[in-house]
Amino acid sequence: MEQRNPYRTAALLTIAFFVLIYLYVQEFPILSNTVGGKYLVIASMVVGLLLSLMFIFYNKTRFQPYDHHRPDITFIIVCSMFFAPLLGSWLNRSLGKTTDQSFKFISEKPFYASGYGVIKGEKLKVTGYHLLVKGKNREHRFKYKKQAYFPLTKPGEEILLPLRKGIFGANVMLLK
């Protein structure tokens, strides 16, 4: 029987961890454009916590004595809570259907973002837009980068935005 190489396993797990972090970073703009995203994240973290505790409970003999396995248990709980919103967002978005929803337009403002600041004499280019709209009972701020979608719209006018109705109740605005 062939023995496992612990260095190869550690290297593969490290690569998988960094891939998950990369995917999470790619999901941030989508989560920020999710109506009810805060509740989706909190609910996903609670589900991740419960699933990790169930996993630890059903494998309790593997984690005996607990004093020697505290770092392992902590790592499992923290990682499951940290990555659960990524899975929750994927599931919410992938199984939903797209519809147009009506909002009252408030404003669309361009913004400039740079990771290194502004260099003296540099000509600033718009890097994205903030769209502020009012839904049924509250205001929503969306962010997108490609173009201004409502340059001629006046405040108070009704606009239609493409939303993907998620299966967990969180709707994702699809403008990019």
* pLDDT 10s digits, 138-176: 888 988 888 888 888 888 888 888 888 888 888 888 878
pLDDT score of 20: 92
pLDDT band at 37 (very low <50, low <70, confident <90, very high): confident
3-state secondary structure (DSSP) of residue 51: helix
The band of 6, judged by pLDDT with boundaries at 50, 70 and 90, is confident
Question: DSSP secondary-structure letter at 125?
Answer: -
Distance CA 46, CA 30 (A): 20
What distances in angstroms separate CA 87 from CA 28, 31, 47, 93, 112, one per listed residue?
A: 12, 12, 11, 10, 31
| Residue carrying structure tokens 């505790």 | 53
Which residue's structure tokens are 């989560």?
A: 31
Extended strands (E) in 2-157 = 34-35, 97-111, 128-134, 139-144
Look at phi and psi of residue 113 and say left if phi exceeds 0, alpha if psi is from -120 to 50, else beta: beta
Closest CA to 145 of 126, 159, 164, 125: 126
Spatial contact of 142 and 119, defined as CB atoms under 8 Å apart: no
To the nearest whole number, what is the mean pLDDT of the chain? 88
